[in-house]
Amino acid sequence: MRTALPVLLPLVLAGCFFGKTKDQRPWGEEEVARIQVGKTTKAEVLRLLGPPKQIVRLLESEAYMYSHSIQKETGTYLIVFNMHRTDTQYDAITVIINRQDVVTAVGHRFDAEKAGYGFPWQD
């Protein structure tokens, strides 16, 4: 039994893991396509996208900022040697609304689904 312990101990103390975390709810390009500059109102934006994660007050308008992220993690450990990799990608929507509560600009990016698993030494 004493000779088996040095062989079995590293196997018990070694392993690997995968993890995935989602933040907020995702929005699609369909929702953003419904927002029309000069026509869509603040109430319609809130109905389409829900409450923003952040509101930035500007001189003559407000920026409603929405974000969604996906984070994927991989790691391996062997007693005291650990390697870990995290890849976080975001979807973001920014809607600028003037004092008359009408949309004046919309910007977006959809990259959350590009998050990937990989080895810790990969870029």
Run of H or E including 120: none
Confirm if 111 and 90 have CB atoms less than 8 A apart: yes
Selecting from 1.10.238, 2.40.50, 3.30.1450, 1.10.3470, what CATH number does the domain 14-114 have? 3.30.1450
> Which pLDDT score, from 0 to 100, does residue 4 have?
65
Q: How confident is the model at residue 27 (pLDDT cuts 50, 70, 90)?
A: confident
Query: Which stretches does DSSP call E strand in 11-79?
Result: 14-23, 54-57, 61-78
Distance in Å from the first CA to the final CA of the chain: 43
The torsion angles phi and psi of 37, rounded to 5 degrees, stand at -60, 130
Say how far apart CA 117 and CA 123 lie, in whole Å: 11
Arithmetic mean of pLDDT, 71-98: 88
The 8-class DSSP code of residue 113 comes to: G
Q: Which residue has the tokens 């103390």?
A: 13
Split at pLDDT 50, 70, 90, the class of 76 is confident
As a whole number of angstroms, the distance between CA 61 and CA 71 comes to 32
Mean pLDDT score, 6-30 = 76
State the Cα–Cα distance between residues 112 and 30, nearest whole angstrom.
Answer: 16
